[in-house]
Structure formats: structure tokens, C-alpha cells
């Protein structure tokens, strides 16, 4: 693996930072404040880690202006250290560009169109009439169904499955085990027996989308399931048929989105959230972890449900009282009415 080396001057220019320290100091990697050693660049993005700053062994630290005077080593001063770290991490990431070529064990239909500088790994299957763009990487064991389209510079990691008729935009990253285009959960009940509703739509994914490992995106029933540009989906997410996710929204692991839900742009959905079907979530909505979204959210903001973790004894007491909440409410309303009547009588 090639070791990348950058000077602090180069890194400062890359993230538009103010540099305090030796511009010629070389950096060979990134590390946390606690684990860093000479040659490493660390970052401070959360004040609770400020305690580790004064003893860090890093060669330099990315900090904001308020923390710069407490930094014992060279500093790259920016407004948003976490964003700066994210940008610099791209420089030190191991190269994911595979050598162009088609492995001899791959099976590709003669009717496919394969772009320039494409890498197709061992045991890949690409079915008829699919179109693969330029500089695409398809890892070992991937299946690309008939009539699919994969945009330029996209990457399918090993063992990704695209069913037929799937459209991926440019620069997408699909992680291992993801399944895109399986049938949505559509059945009609006929006197106690389930009649399958065949799913006739597809999946359309925009540009710069990342889909996590073992995430499933179901195809539409009649129209397409749609994932907008810049969307980020974590691992183990279920996206039901005909779901629409707007541009630049992010969904964390374990979330399940039922069919025909529409999520706006610039939303964040935290881990293990449940979203019911056929509802609408506005732009700029943020749903906290373990929440259940059972009705539409029409106004931007932060939404939560569920109960906070407590010790078991307190939880049992609270649960017992929760079961009587309806009874308590009725009693309270009755008392309020009696109070109002008594007040009116005395006036």
C-alpha cells in the first residue's frame, strides 16, 4: 500500500485553514488525539475531547479558533474541524480504483454496453441489455440484472445484487450484500390467502449516493422507487416499494421505511426508526433514534418518540402507570368539569 505524505502547508491549502506551526512538517496519516504519534494529524471537533488535546503526540491538530491557544503542537485552524477532517480523510483513504479489465470468470451478455476503463471482477454476472458507464468498478460476485444502467465512476463492492431494470447514477458506492430491486411487500388477501401483487416498477438512484452493506431497496409496484442525489443510506436499512427519498438526506442503520412513504430533502433519520407507509416527511426534518413515525411530518424540525432508558424498577412503575393513562385522563376531565361547575355556581 502506498503511504501518502503531505506537508502542513499542502493540507492547510486543501481545507483553507490558517496554519500555526512548521509549514514543512510532513503528515503521513490521521489518528485520534489519544492514539496519535509523530507524523499523524488529529482533530478536535467535540469539546468533551478537549482533555486529550494538551497531551497529544500528534504532529498537528485541526482545531477551531477557540481551541487553538490550547494546542501544544502545530494547528490547522478552521471554522468546522469535523468537516475539515472529512475532507482530509479522502486524501489518506487507500485507493479503491481497481485495475481496468474483465476477469476471465465473469459472464457478460453480448447485448451489454461496457464503457471505458471498467473493472469487472471474478464471478460477476451482467445480464442482457445492461449499460455500464466509464470507470465503473464491479467487485467479485456481483449480479447485474437485465436492463440495468450504472453511471460513470460508480462502484459496486463484492456481492452486490441489482435485479432487472435498475438505474444507478454517477459516482455511487454500493456496499457488499446490498440488494436493489427485489420485490416490494405487496400481497392482496383473498379469503385468508395471500395473492401476490407483481412489482412492475424499478428503482432509480441519483448521483453521489452511498448504500450501506446489507441494505435492501425494493422495486416499485407500478412506478419506481426513487433515491435522490447525494442520499446516504447506512447498513441494514429496509426501503419499501415506491418510497421516495429526497436529495442529500441521510438514514442511519436499522431503519425501516414502509411502502410509498415520501421523505423530503436534507432530512436525517437516526438509527432504528420505523416509518409507516403512505406518509410524507417535509424537507429538513430530523428524527431521533428508535422513533416511530406514524403520521406525516409537514413542518421542518426535530421529532422524537419512545421513552428514555431508565433502571428496570423505574421502567416497570412507569409502564404500569402508562397503562392507566386513559383512565387517569378521564378522571381528570371529570374533575375539571366538576370544578368549573362549582366555580360557576359560586359566582
pLDDT in tens, 116-146: 999 999 999 999 999 999 999 999 999 999 9
Check: CB of residue 52 under 8 Å from CB of residue 73: no
- Average the pLDDT over 146-175 and give the result: 98
Residue written as grid cell 412503575 = 317
Q: How far apart are CA 344 and CA 334, in angstroms?
A: 16
- The confidence band for 3, taking pLDDT boundaries of 50, 70 and 90, is low
Considering the chain, what percentage of its residues have pLDDT values greater than 70? Answer: 98
- Average the pLDDT over 173-195 and give the result: 96
Which of 292, 211, 276, 218 lies closest to 250, judged by CA? 211
- Ranges of each domain in the chain: 6-92, 101-303, 312-346
Q: How far apart are CA 84 and CA 158, in angstroms?
A: 30
Q: What is the mean pLDDT of the chain?
A: 95
Please check the confidence at residue 212 and state whether its pLDDT lies above 70. Answer: yes
Please check the confidence at residue 347 and state whether its pLDDT lies above 80. Answer: no
- The three-state secondary structure class of 278 is coil
Please check the confidence at residue 1 and state whether its pLDDT lies above 60. Answer: no
Please check the confidence at residue 225 and state whether its pLDDT lies above 80. Answer: yes
Q: How far apart are CA 219 and CA 203, in angstroms?
A: 5
Question: Can you give the pLDDT at residue 18?
Answer: 96
Question: Can you give the pLDDT at residue 99?
Answer: 86
Per-residue pLDDT reduced to its tens digit, 287-324: 999 999 999 999 999 999 987 889 999 989 998 998 99
- Average the pLDDT over 149-164 and give the result: 98
Residue written as grid cell 435492501 = 216
What number does CATH give the domain 101-303? Answer: 2.160.10.10
Phi (first) and psi of residue 299, to 5 degrees = -125, 135
Q: Which fold has domain 6-92?
A: 3.40.1390
Please check the confidence at residue 23 and state whether its pLDDT lies above 70. Answer: yes
Q: In this structure, what C-alpha cell is assigned to residue 144?
A: 447485474
- Average the pLDDT over 26-45 and give the result: 95
To the question of pTM greater than 0.85 for the whole model, the response is yes
Please check the confidence at residue 230 and state whether its pLDDT lies above 70. Answer: yes
Question: Can you give the pLDDT at residue 96?
Answer: 61
Instruction: Give the number of other Cβ atoms within 10 Å of residue 226's Cβ.
Output: 21
Q: How far apart are CA 179 and CA 163, in angstroms?
A: 8
Question: Can you give the pLDDT at residue 95?
Answer: 64
- The three-state secondary structure class of 11 is helix
- The confidence band for 94, taking pLDDT boundaries of 50, 70 and 90, is confident
Question: Can you give the pLDDT at residue 341?
Answer: 87
Give the catalytic positions in this structure: 241
Amino acid at each position: 500500500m502506498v503511504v501518502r505524505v503531505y506537508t502542513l502547508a499542502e493540507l492547510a491549502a486543501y481545507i483553507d485553514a490558517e496554519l500555526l506551526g512548521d509549514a514543512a512538517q510532513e503528515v503521513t496519516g490521521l489518528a485520534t488525539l489519544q492514539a496519535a504519534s509523530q507524523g499523524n494529524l488529529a482533530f478536535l471537533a467535540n469539546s468533551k475531547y478537549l482533555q486529550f488535546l494538551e497531551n497529544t503526540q500528534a504532529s498537528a491538530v485541526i482545531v477551531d479558533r477557540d481551541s487553538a491557544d490550547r494546542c501544544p503542537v502545530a494547528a490547522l485552524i478552521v471554522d468546522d474541524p469535523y468537516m475539515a477532517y472529512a475532507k482530509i480523510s479522502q486524501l489518506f483513504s487507500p485507493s479503491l480504483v481497481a485495475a481496468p479489465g474483465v476477469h476471465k470468470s465473469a459472464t457478460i451478455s453480448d447485448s451489454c454496453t461496457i464503457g471505458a476503463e471498467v473493472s469487472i471482477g471474478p464471478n460477476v454476472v451482467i445480464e442482457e441489455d445492461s449499460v455500464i458507464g466509464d470507470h465503473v468498478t464491479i467487485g467479485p460476485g456481483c449480479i447485474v440484472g437485465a436492463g440495468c444502467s450504472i453511471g460513470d465512476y460508480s462502484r459496486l463492492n463484492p456481492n452486490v445484487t441489482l435485479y432487472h431494470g435498475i438505474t444507478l447514477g454517477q459516482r455511487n458506492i454500493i456496499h457488499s450484500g446490498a440488494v436493489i430491486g427485489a420485490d416490494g411487500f405487496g400481497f392482496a388477501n383473498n379469503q385468508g390467502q395471500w395473492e401476490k401483487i407483481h412489482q412492475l416498477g424499478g428503482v432509480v438512484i441519483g448521483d453521489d449516493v452511498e448504500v450501506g452493506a446489507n441494505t435492501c431497496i425494493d422495486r416499485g409496484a407500478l412506478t419506481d422507487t426513487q433515491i435522490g442525489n447525494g442520499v446516504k443510506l447506512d447498513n441494514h436499512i429496509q426501503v419499501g416499494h415506491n418510497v421516495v427519498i429526497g436529495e442529500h438526506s441521510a438514514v442511519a442503520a436499522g431503519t425501516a421505511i414502509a411502502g410509498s412513504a415520501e421523505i423530503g430533502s436534507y432530512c436525517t433519520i437516526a438509527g432504528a426508526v420505523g416509518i409507516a407507509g403512505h406518509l410524507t416527511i417535509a424537507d429538513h426534518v430530523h428524527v431521533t433514534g428508535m422513533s416511530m413515525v406514524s403520521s406525516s411530518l409537514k413542518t421542518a424540525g426535530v421529532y422524537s418518540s419512545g421513552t428514555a432508558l431508565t433502571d428496570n424498577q423505574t421502567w416497570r412503575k412507569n409502564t404500569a402507570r402508562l397503562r392507566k393513562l386513559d383512565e387517569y385522563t378521564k378522571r381528570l376531565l371529570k374533575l375539571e368539569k366538576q370544578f368549573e361547575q362549582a366555580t360557576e355556581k359560586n359566582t
